[in-house]
Amino acid sequence: RLRAKMFRSWSLASRACRAGAGVLAVSAAAAVAECAGADAKPTGSAPAQVSAAKLASVFDHTLLKPEASPADVRALCEEAHRYSFASVCVNPSFVAEARAYLDALAAREGTERVVRVCTVIGFPLGATTSRVKAFEAEEAVNAGADEIDMVLPVGRLRGRADVAAVTRDLAAVAEVSQRRGVVLKVILETALLNDDERDLAVMLAAQTGCDFVKTSTGFAKGGATVKDVGAMHEQAAAVAGTGVGVAGGMRVKASGGVRTCEQAMRMLGAGASRLGASASVAIFEECVALGYVSGADEHVKAAAPAAGSASAPAANSDDAY
């Protein structure tokens, strides 16, 4: 396979992958098979491969750089459409264009849109007011967002400085997400929290009806770690066991620094159900090259026509950026 040839050389050059190839081959399929669904639970055994569709369904294909252009966002959408990733995650000003472009890509094939549109609220500091965050969320949904990743007020959580304010902040955005029927993920910025603060944040997110807890913005001093993902998964499960939170329990999204197949599999194995990554395509292709994925040739669609060609979907030029 062309994709396998392109990625095999550098994938197999990874010392970590070489050292643990046998173990990872099993744990990779185990992680995705168990963690891609709503009832995600870490496991220790699984078949040797996972389907391409199952692996693709865990990725929020992400572009949140301030310099991202409309052309960059369209390219992101094309990649997500080709691979049938869970979503594209873009800044709020690009939500309407991403939604329109994904709809156009699906319509060209005579299918329904599969890739959801995710955006960020109170990003990346979480320091705007709760009313502003709620307004941002409402605006995002009006523009076409299916999922919202909000940043909680980290400074008020640290040291339990103002737990009531954190709760009000989460509740304000949760009210919008629940009323409008969209998924809400809460970014904890775990690199800035101690274990007690992280666990408290998971509890507050569950109590206010959030759907996911997420590790990181990618803009702080650190990103996702296996330790934090595992602890968040365990805490979310424990809270769900008391009857608190959304039906089926909160899930975990790992984001920030996930760039390789091995890193992705370790996060999924620790209990993540979703991965936020700008390197989604490279991670997917590395997993294919390493032989962990079945059905990739049938799953991945042909590349879209170049922008501006007669058969390419038109961008919505009326949107402001």
DSSP, res 221: S
Indicate if 253 belongs to the active site: yes
- Which one is catalytic: 149, 169, 211, 228? 149
- Evaluated on CA atoms 150, 154, 155, 157, the torsion sign reads positive
- Which one is catalytic: 54, 133, 185, 253? 253
Q: Residues with Cβ < 8 Å from 4, sequence gap 6 or more?
A: 285, 288, 289
Indicate if 301 belongs to the active site: no
- Which one is catalytic: 54, 133, 185, 214? 214
Let me know how long the chain is: 321
Cα–Cα dist 57/273, whole Å:
9
Cβ count within 10 A of residue 308:
8
Q: Residues with Cβ < 8 Å from 292, sequence gap 6 or more?
A: 24, 25, 28, 29, 49, 50, 55, 261, 265
Q: Name the amino acid, one letter, at 109.
A: E
Considering just the CA atoms, what is the radius of gyration of the chain in Å? 19
Indicate if 149 belongs to the active site: yes
Cα–Cα dist 140/286, whole Å:
33
**Active-site annotation, residues:** 149, 214, 253
